[in-house]
């Protein structure tokens, strides 16, 4: 055993980057932030990990550098292998060209010809999180994505799978405004899970956990009635998440 520790260095050297799938939720819509790359293609915010930098620190820094957005909830969800990324994508000429571009830069035989990328997803309210950058960007609906650079379409798909799983365990309801209605929360769940809940059952389910605080205020300006506003008791929410929230 321990062959790993004795393996020749040239087998183990990789370029490692982080890629961020930034989900934005607002008014019942789930979107992803795309950046213009190379003036022709769209891609996710991405960048390298520096020496001595924690992986999670790198993700925050990259997001800030590429979008101007900071202090968001970031969650690592999957690591994408170099070989995986291009092998499965051989029909994708753009990816192949980019790949060759990387290659051309790397003339030391020791360097691996490909990349490993650690995928993170972020969650924001896309009306609040305004990118500050010189290049073009768009918030694109997850159901209407263009062909992206690299393997970024696959990445978004896997990030969404992770987000769906994490809804039970991570404080994803923080995506809601500080005060919200039960309908808002239902829509958040429905949008992420891409399925409908019966209103009455869903509300009963939510209230079976004790992390929702009913406020005396009501939401005004809605069409028919004025529903109650709620806020989250974060401590109780965290406790409920430890076992997973069933729905």
CB of 88 to a copy of itself, least distance (A): 9
Name the β-bridge partners of 118. Answer: 18, 79
Angstrom distance (rounded) from CA 244 to CA 167: 9
Closer to a copy of itself by CB, 105 or 200: give it: 105
Long-range Cβ contacts of 191-198 (<8 Å, 24+ apart): 191/25, 191/28, 191/29, 191/30, 192/30, 192/163, 192/164, 192/167, 193/164, 193/167, 197/247
DSSP assigned state of 11: G
d(CA 240, CA 82): 38
Among 125, 133, 179, 231, binds a copy of itself (CB under 8 A): 133
Strand partners, 78: 119
The residue written with tokens 């990349």 in the block is 115
Nearer to a copy of itself, 88 or 226 (CB): 88
CB of 23 to a copy of itself, least distance (A): 19
CB 36 → a copy of itself: shortest distance, Å? 8
- Considering the rule CB under 8 A, would residue 130 count as an interface residue with a copy of itself? no
Q: Does residue 35 belong to the site contacting a copy of itself (CB under 8 A)?
A: yes
Answer yes or no: are the C-beta atoms of 120 and 59 closer than 8 Å.
Answer: yes
Minimum distance, C-beta of residue 211 to a copy of itself, in the bound complex (Å): 18
For position 50 contacting a copy of itself by CB under 8 A, the verdict is yes
The smaller minimum CB distance to a copy of itself, of residues 31 and 99, is found at 99
- Least Å from the CB of residue 210 to a copy of itself: 19
Query: How far, in Å, CA of 159 to CA of 242, rounded?
Result: 21
Pick the binder of a copy of itself from 25, 37, 189, 202 (CB under 8 A).
37
171 binds a copy of itself (CB under 8 A): no
C-beta of residue 117 within 8 angstroms of C-beta of residue 85: yes
Match 């974060």 to its residue by tokens: 234
Q: Which residues contact 184 (CB under 8 A, 6 or more apart)?
A: 176, 177
**Contact pick of 30, 49, 176, 188 for a copy of itself (by CB under 8 A):** 49
CB neighbourhood size of 132 (10 A): 10
Among 29, 89, 94, 116, binds a copy of itself (CB under 8 A): 116
Report d(CA 22, CA 12) in Å as an integer.
Answer: 30
Between 98 and 229, whose beta carbon lies closer to a copy of itself?
Answer: 98
Interaction between residue 207 and a copy of itself (CB under 8 A):
no
Query: Other CB atoms closer than 10 Å to residue 5's CB: what's the count?
Result: 6
User: Residues interacting with a copy of itself, by CB under 8 A?
Assistant: 1-5, 7, 9-18, 35, 37-38, 45-56, 58, 62, 65-67, 76, 78-81, 83-84, 87, 105-106, 111-114, 116, 118, 133, 135, 164-166, 168-169, 195, 243-244, 246-247
């Amino acid at each position: 055993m321990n062959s790993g520790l004795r393996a020749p260095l040239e087998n183990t050297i990789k370029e490692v980057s982080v890629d961020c799938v930034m989900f934005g939720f607002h008014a019942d819509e789930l979107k992803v932030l795309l950046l213009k790359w190379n003036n022709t293609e769209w891609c996710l915010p991405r960048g390298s990990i520096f020496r001595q930098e924690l992986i999670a620190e790198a993700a925050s820094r990259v997001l800030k550098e590429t979008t101007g957005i900071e202090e968001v909830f970031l969650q690592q969800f999957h690591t994408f292998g170099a070989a995986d990324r291009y092998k499965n994508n051989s029909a994708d000429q753009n990816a192949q060209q980019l790949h060759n571009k990387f290659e051309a830069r790397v003339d030391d035989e020791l360097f691996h010809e490909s990349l490993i990328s650690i995928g993170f997803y972020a969650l924001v309210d896309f009306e609040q999180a305004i990118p500050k950058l010189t290049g073009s960007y768009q918030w694109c609906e997850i159901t209407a994505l263009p062909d992206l650079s690299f393997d970024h379409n696959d990445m978004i798909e896997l990030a969404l799978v992770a987000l769906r799983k994490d809804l039970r365990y991570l404080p994803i309801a923080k995506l809601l405004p500080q005060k919200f209605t039960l309908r808002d929360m239902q829509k958040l769940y429905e949008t992420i899970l891409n399925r409908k809940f019966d209103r009455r059952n869903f509300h009963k389910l939510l209230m079976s956990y004790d992390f929702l605080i009913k406020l005396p205020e009501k939401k005004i300006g809605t069409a028919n009635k004025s529903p109650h506003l709620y806020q989250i008791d974060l401590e109780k929410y965290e406790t409920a998440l430890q076992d997973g929230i069933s729905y």
